[in-house]
A and B are shown apart, each in its own frame.
Chain A
Amino acid sequence: MQLDLHHVEELLNFWGWPQSGTWELTLGGTQLLFNPKTLIMTWIVMGLVILFGLAATRSMDMRKPKGAQNILEMLWEFIGGLVRDNMDPKKGAALLSIVVTYFIFILFSNLIGLVPTLGSPTADYNTNLGLALCTFFLIYIFGIRYKGLGYFKHYVKPFALFLPINIIEDLAKPITLTFRLYGNIYAGEVLIAVLLGLLGGWIHVFGGFLASVVWLAFSIFVGCIQAFIFTMLSIVYVAQAVGGEH
């Protein structure tokens, strides 16, 4: 039985979301196109994150943290430590909640794609570019807030000849953020679908089930790592903008 990726994806579309095509919305004469599956999965992820947040804060105990509260505290302390290591804690306080949200949202997004029939919002480069643009804006917001217009002087450092290089460097930041995350997660999802497709006829030959389990385990690892990398790089970029010369 010959299965191609699209066919497997169709077969896995248990919930019947719109696989391809777009939702259209016309606002003031501008036609806006949306990827429906990405949006639906994003909303599901948002729901899960909110549920997690509520579970973590529902019955908080100062003396004996347990369950979700523990996880949230650990995350907060861990990422807070990263922020404090990279920049002045006073300036970093405003950034902390944003990057923690990055981490939780991206982690949940990555992991939800591992459930067959569901998909990662982060397997769509639109999501990733959206998040990366948030970081891009954050770099400027923080840079201007703490250095004023003098922030733009870093484009001509060490001297004016570096202007194009610095501009390219700045533009490369959101693009690399986007496609690093997209490549990892999309590849993981494709391979999950492919391995599930192999289950059909080739399981005895390739051990499709075993391979699938191994790949799922590895994807959990990759999902965590990518969420961490995105968060970490965002912190570092903002810290560069806020901190001293670079």
Chain B
Amino acid sequence: MLEFNATILAQIVDFVILLIFLRLVVYKPLCRLLANRSDHIANSIAAAEQERQEAEQLKAGYEAEMRRAREQAQEIVQKATRAGEDQALQIVSNAKNEAEKLKENAHAEIEREKQRAIAELRDQVATLSVLVAGKIIHKTISKDIQRSMIDDFIKEAGELQ
């Protein structure tokens, strides 16, 4: 029923011819292409890896720098704040001192003026009194007497005070 014949051999030969042809013309370039592609992919991955590492390094560097900068800025701000506070304190204390001094000066001035005014007043009062007294007794008094009288008067007036 089954009739095998030389077609078997022909088909084996056909297959081998096809195989050889495909190996030479199709599979060889295909394998080369696939190898190229896997190489390319491997290279790309390696390059990407390396770039990522570099980027990470850069990032770490930048971050450290930023942290340092922030610390410095904080330090500067702190320093400035402290300096400002110190200055403010100093200014306030200076102002207080100044004010105190001014107040003292003013007090002294006032006291001085007061003394002067009192002295002048005494002088005036004494002179006036002497004049009045002179007018009253119509008598010229020698300068010496006048002086001694004035002094007496002043003394009295001083005691009156």
User: Chain A: residues with CB nearer than 8 A to chain B?
Assistant: 22, 25, 32-35, 38-39, 42-43, 46, 49-50, 53-54, 56-57, 60, 62, 72-73, 76-77, 97-98, 100-101, 104-105, 121, 124-127, 129-131, 133-134
Q: A35-B5, A97-B19 are in contact. Are A76 and B12 (CB under 8 A)?
A: no
Nearest residue (CB) in A for B2 is: A125
Q: A53-B26, A57-B26, A76-B30 are in contact. Are A129 and B5 (CB under 8 A)?
A: no
> Closest 6 CB pairs between A and B?
A130-B11, A126-B7, A32-B6, A53-B26, A33-B5, A130-B12
Say yes or no for B56: interface residue by CB 8 A criterion: no
Which residues of the partner chain B approach A32 to less than 8 Å between Cβ atoms? 5-6, 9
Which residues of the partner chain B approach A124 to less than 8 Å between Cβ atoms? 7
CB of A131 within 8 A of CB of B15, answer yes
CB of B30 within 8 A of CB of A57, answer yes
Nearest residue (CB) in B for A52 is: B26
User: What's the least CB distance linking B10 to chain A, in Å?
Assistant: 6
CB of A126 within 8 A of CB of B25, answer no
Which residues of the partner chain A approach B34 to less than 8 Å between Cβ atoms? 73, 76-77
Whole-angstrom distance between the alpha carbons of A125 and B30 in the complex? 32
What number of B residues sit within 8 Å (CB to CB) of A? Answer: 29
User: What's the least CB distance linking A129 to chain B, in Å?
Assistant: 5
User: What's the least CB distance linking A19 to chain B, in Å?
Assistant: 15
Among A56, A101, A131, the most chain B Cβ lie within 10 Å of the Cβ of A101
Which residues of the partner chain A approach B137 to less than 8 Å between Cβ atoms? none
Whole-angstrom distance between the alpha carbons of A133 and B14 in the complex? 13
B25-40 contact mask (Cβ, 8 Å, vs A): 1 or 0: 1110110011011001
Q: A42-B14, A62-B36 are in contact. Are A127 and B7 (CB under 8 A)?
A: yes
Beyond A42-B14, A101-B22, 7 extra complex contacts between A and B, CB < 8 Å:
A32-B9, A46-B14, A50-B18, A57-B25, A104-B22, A105-B15, A126-B11
Whole-angstrom distance between the alpha carbons of A138 and B124 in the complex? 152
Contact of B7 among A39, A72, A97 (CB under 8 A): A39
User: What's the least CB distance linking B36 to chain A, in Å?
Assistant: 5
Nearest residue (CB) in B for A137 is: B12
Q: Is the interface of A mostly helix, strand, loop or mixed?
A: helix
User: What's the least CB distance linking A202 to chain B, in Å?
Assistant: 30
Q: A56-B26, A62-B36, A76-B30 are in contact. Are A130 and B18 (CB under 8 A)?
A: no
CB of B30 within 8 A of CB of A34, answer no
Nearest residue (CB) in B for A49 is: B18
CB of B15 within 8 A of CB of A130, answer yes
Which residues of the partner chain A approach B14 to less than 8 Å between Cβ atoms? 39, 42-43, 46, 130
Say yes or no for B23: interface residue by CB 8 A criterion: yes
CB of B9 within 8 A of CB of A57, answer no
CB of A101 within 8 A of CB of B6, answer no
CB of A133 within 8 A of CB of B33, answer no
CB of A130 within 8 A of CB of B37, answer no
Which residues of the partner chain B approach A97 to less than 8 Å between Cβ atoms? 19, 22-23, 27
CB of A46 within 8 A of CB of B18, answer yes
Contact of B15 among A54, A125, A134 (CB under 8 A): A134
CB of A133 within 8 A of CB of B36, answer no
Contact of B11 among A42, A53, A60 (CB under 8 A): A42
Say yes or no for B8: interface residue by CB 8 A criterion: yes
Nearest residue (CB) in B for A55 is: B26
Q: A130-B8, A130-B11 are in contact. Are A101 and B19 (CB under 8 A)?
A: yes
User: What's the least CB distance linking B161 to chain A, in Å?
Assistant: 119
Whole-angstrom distance between the alpha carbons of A127 and B27 in the complex? 24
Which residues of the partner chain B approach A62 to less than 8 Å between Cβ atoms? 33, 36-37, 40
User: What's the least CB distance linking B20 to chain A, in Å?
Assistant: 10
Whole-angstrom distance between the alpha carbons of A125 and B5 in the complex? 10
Whole-angstrom distance between the alpha carbons of A177 and B55 in the complex? 58
